[in-house]
Structure 1
Amino acid sequence: MLKAIQQPGRRLTLAFAIAAAAVTGATLYQSQASAEAQASAPPPPSVTVATVEHQQIRTWASFSGRLTPVASADIKPLVGGTIQKVSFYDGQHVSQGQALFLIDPRPHEAALARASAQLEAARSRFALAQDELERARRLLEDKLISQSLFDAAQNDAQTAKAAVAEAQAARQQAALNLEYAHISAPVAGRISRAELTEGNVVEAGPNAPVLASIVANDRLYAEFSVDEQTFLRFVRATDNPKSMPIELTLAADKSVIYEGHLHAFDNRLDTASGTIRARAIVENTDGALTPGMYAEVRLGAPQLSEALVLPERAIGTNQNKKFVLVVDADNTARYREVSLGKQWRGQRIISEGLQPGDRVIVGGLAHVRPDSPVTPTAAESTDNLAATF
């Protein structure tokens, strides 16, 4: 009877032992699986970060314009005659005062000689009239002649003096005509072809032909139109427009940047377009600039300003919002919405959303998700924020 009572208790104890062994085995298996999973999990992705700091930058505005010459001249004859010599070749760079054309000088040399002789004769008559006037003055003092005779002598002297002045003017004009026969370059620059060559007879006056044209090409004007908002913002920042720098590139070739400065704004706004004309001076450093070229002009603000800037590659788009990923103190990537300003030399000005000292991911974004751990590496100097200039 006793054995029948004890048998079920043994079976119950055995069941509990088996169950406990099963739980212990399952726990050990899960711990081992978790350890293996942790051992096989990849490390946090490596990213390149740039520490945002205030930069001294210059803001720029872009416009389209045309190149025009700073100085140019159409060469026309000031005296008539036969062209005897052309002293340049087509497209030559000429200096100021360089000989260009020679019009037959012989008629003008003869006119100068004639005028010189007439001047000498007038001076002789004037000297004689002066002597006669002095004698008449002495005779009048001795009451040997009448006042009317003295007045006549005085009038003759004044007339002779005027004749000398007239002869001097005629000689000066003859000398100028002889000088005009030797045509020289009024400005330095590149000259066109000779429209008339040796042997052609030319005339002076309003209908005088253009013999050639010169365009100064060491510096050129870049003429463009500035919108009213940009004009007000830049002009209020300085009372010296020439402090505004200019960067110019050609529409056909953007590989070369030409530098210069603003020369002047026009004196009125065009009410039809809401713009004001502006003119900048650009140095033709490589001689490739030519008047008439289409150019893209960047007008810089007169003063530097502080701003936070980031490379374009660090900025993402989420529907209509812009964002960056910021690495916090725990090396975790955090989503941060930002407001963008204007572009600046391949960078973007950040107007809102970041503070100086924030570490922004600029490389390795494809492998990062918000609120995930990362392994940050500081950006190289060329990948960091743009340099101040």
Structure 2
Amino acid sequence: MVNKRAVLVVSLIALLGASGLYGLYATPGADKTAYATSTASTSPAGARGEPGGAHGAGITVQTAIVENRDFPVVLHTFGHVQAPQTVAVAARTASQITAIHVKDGQMVRAGDLLFSLDDRQAKADLARDQAILAKDNALLAAANTGLERARTLRDENTGTQQAYETALSVQKSTEATIAADQATIDADQVALSLLQIHAPIDGRLGTVQVAIGDLVGQSGTASTSLVTITAVDPIDVDFTLPEDRLQTFKQLLDSGARPQVVAKVSGTDTVIGQGMLDFIDSAVDTASGTIRMRATFENGAQKLWPGQYVDVDVEEETLAQVPVVPTVAVQFGQSGPYVYRLKDDDTVEVRPIAVAADDGTSSAIKAGLSSGDRIVIEGQSRLKPGERVSVASAAPATG
């Protein structure tokens, strides 16, 4: 039984093998045709092995057209907003606060009344001294009359020279007394004025440090400073630049030019102020190799705040009518920077360039390109010299 089954299996295998051989040799054209079709479908375009084929559309890229324009050279650094003036307001005479005319954070102008102190004693002293002056003025009038009488009697030989000289002495003494009285009154008026405390500068108040009833001044027990006023408009921004920029900016200031300075919110591109460079420090910081500079900003909107840190852009110069390209077009190789330039036949060439300045978005080109040149700004990684390309877009290279 087993032998019969074995014979059956061997016979079946032999039959299947014969069928396969018949199929293979009976229809060779069908298999060969299928193989040739698969191979053709996976072959790269172009039978001659040329990039993109002899008549292919080429690699798609985006391009820009180089244009000449003025290009500002801008230096980037960090700055610190500084108030040009900060005044701690204090009482100059000992007294008690009777009125506070301002509140925390208020904007004030020079001359605005801030605090009133107890002025009763000062007013009483002034009234007393004014009364003394009035009395002495009456005495002066009498002395003038006596002097005139003594002069007349002397001239008529009915009076003596001694009497005249005595009257003259009384008149001069009374005049001196009146001058002293007036000086005393002037001092009283100064003392009285010190009891009305006014803002010495324009600015913003800090926290009011006193309350009504506080004793202030030399014998007071309250804080020496009543309030602080900080000037905020205009306002300064201090920053540093490398010392190798010193001569450039010094020459600009010496010539009367004031380079533009832009302040931005730290870490962003949000502009919060535009000012002008107006000061260069007298010495280089030898530890850091930098020079401190200062710009002044109009700050009516008060976007710049004393103590704030900001990003600073300083305009060093403006390059007149230079070729400008988007910075993304600039590539770097072993021989330096270059761009892919499109030729008239829509193939690309490597064009070495010299970059004069770069603001992060656009690059000013010193040599290698001219206005009207077409350059690749996207797709460079797939290109090589002589590659034919298909242009997706072309726009002015304004960055």
TM-score, normalised via structure 1 length:
0.78
Post-superposition offset of 1:82: 1.1
Distance, in Å, in 1 between the alignment partners of 2:164 and 2:219 is 47
Look up the match of 1:235. 250
Q: Name the CA shift for 1:333/1:170 in 2 (closer, same or farther; >3 Å).
A: same
Distance, in Å, in 2 between the alignment partners of 1:280 and 1:236 is 16
Alignment match of 2:389 (pick from 362, 374, 380): 374
Alignment match of 1:105 (pick from 90, 105, 119): 119
Q: In structure 1, the residue corresponding to 2:304 is in which secondary structure? A: coil
Contact 1:241/1:263, CA 8 A, preserved across alignment: no
Distance, in Å, in 2 between the alignment partners of 1:330 and 1:297 is 45
Post-superposition offset of 1:314: 0.4
Q: Name the CA shift for 1:48/1:143 in 2 (closer, same or farther; >3 Å).
A: farther
Q: What is the correspondence of 1:29-44 to structure 2 with a 5 Å cutoff?
A: 42-44=56-58
Q: Cα deviations across residues 320-348 of structure 1 (Å, max 9, x unaligned)?
A: 62211111233221101222233226222
Distance, in Å, in 2 between the alignment partners of 1:66 and 1:363 is 39
Contact 2:252/2:258, CA 8 A, preserved across alignment: no
Alignment match of 2:200 (pick from 156, 167, 186): 186
Q: Which residues of structure 2 form unaligned runs of 5+?
A: 1-45
Q: What is the correspondence of 1:1-389 to structure 2 with a 5 Å cutoff?
A: 42-204=56-218, 209-237=224-252, 239=254, 243-251=258-266, 254-270=269-285, 274-284=289-299, 286-301=301-316, 305-319=320-334, 321-344=336-359, 346-376=361-391, 379-380=394-395, 384-386=397-399
Q: Name the CA shift for 1:129/1:309 in 2 (closer, same or farther; >3 Å).
A: farther
Give the letter aligned to residue 262 of structure 1: L
Q: How many residues align?
A: 351
Task: Give me the CA root mean square deviation.
Answer: 3.2
Distance, in Å, in 1 between the alignment partners of 2:127 and 2:256 is 54
Q: Name the CA shift for 1:171/1:326 in 2 (closer, same or farther; >3 Å).
A: same
Post-superposition offset of 1:76: 0.4
Distance, in Å, in 1 between the alignment partners of 2:267 and 2:136 is 67
Q: In structure 2, the residue corresponding to 1:165 is in which secondary structure? A: helix
Look up the match of 1:8. none
Distance, in Å, in 1 between the alignment partners of 2:364 and 2:383 is 23
Contact 2:72/2:316, CA 8 A, preserved across alignment: yes
Distance, in Å, in 1 between the alignment partners of 2:76 and 2:200 is 35
> Which sits farther off after the overlay, 135-144 or 163-172?
135-144
Q: In structure 2, the residue corresponding to 1:296 is in which secondary structure? A: strand
Contact 1:258/1:285, CA 8 A, preserved across alignment: no
Contact 1:55/1:309, CA 8 A, preserved across alignment: yes
Distance, in Å, in 2 between the alignment partners of 1:156 and 1:379 is 104
Q: Name the CA shift for 1:277/1:125 in 2 (closer, same or farther; >3 Å).
A: farther
Give the letter aligned to residue 197 of structure 2: I
Q: Name the CA shift for 1:148/1:295 in 2 (closer, same or farther; >3 Å).
A: farther
Q: Name the CA shift for 1:230/1:39 in 2 (closer, same or farther; >3 Å).
A: closer
Q: Name the CA shift for 1:310/1:162 in 2 (closer, same or farther; >3 Å).
A: farther
Post-superposition offset of 1:230: 1.5
Contact 2:63/2:395, CA 8 A, preserved across alignment: no
> Which sits farther off after the overlay, 297-306 or 217-226?
297-306
Contact 1:243/1:302, CA 8 A, preserved across alignment: no
Post-superposition offset of 1:270: 4.9
TM-score, normalised via structure 2 length:
0.76
Determine what percentage of the aligned residue pairs are the same residue: 26
Give the letter aligned to residue 369 of structure 1: K
Distance, in Å, in 1 between the alignment partners of 2:289 and 2:353 is 32
Distance, in Å, in 1 between the alignment partners of 2:256 and 2:146 is 68
Q: In structure 2, the residue corresponding to 1:360 is in which secondary structure? A: strand
Distance, in Å, in 1 between the alignment partners of 2:393 and 2:186 is 80
